[in-house]
Structure 1
Amino acid sequence: MESVRAVVYMSVVLSVMTSVCQGQRSPEDQLPPAPEEPAFGLTTNQLAEALKGFLDEADSRMGLSVEKKASVIPRCDVGERCAMKHGPRIGRLCDCLRGTACNTFFLRCY
């Protein structure tokens, strides 16, 4: 218990000392300012417009859907079908609500 208390006190002291010493840096130790010349000869607005155009074109080509993702399984209520039998295998249609489970014989949430 004492060691935990000592660690907490040391972390508080170190954080206070760090914040106090931040203002004591000399100008030579600070990072240089960012260069004023634009990257690739383009301004920030031009780069943003080019990126937006590229993403719009890629989205239209791929036909990406934000509504449905492969890893997200919809929820089903109690009594709804939650699985489908494919020969010896059972495929999941939806995920049962909390407190219920998918019955593998009836293939419904109970």
Structure 2
Amino acid sequence: MDSSGMLRGLLCVGLLSALCRGQASQEVSAEDFGLEKPDAGAEKDLIEALETLLSRMHNRVSSTEKRGSIPLCGMGDRCAMKFGPRIGKLCDCGRGANCNSYLLKCI
């Protein structure tokens, strides 16, 4: 009987500690770590640096898209051309359509 009473007591203490821990605030702020808020000048410098980096990346991506882009075909349009044993793409079929390799049209 003594061991079952201790088991009940431990279970009650564990349950209470779990309930109390769930009520504690989980928010963490910069003040808890002693961090200071960066000044406005540093934020502006970071924003300008990010904007220049993004503009450079946009220029690189747009130039590669121009070279490798294939126009979209409509339904029933010719999407491929046969070059001997090989088939070359003229355009890409839209969503839900496939280029038929026998008819060479979007179906």
TM-score, normalising length: structure 1: 0.46
Greater Cα radius of gyration, structure 1 or 2? 2
Higher helix share: 2
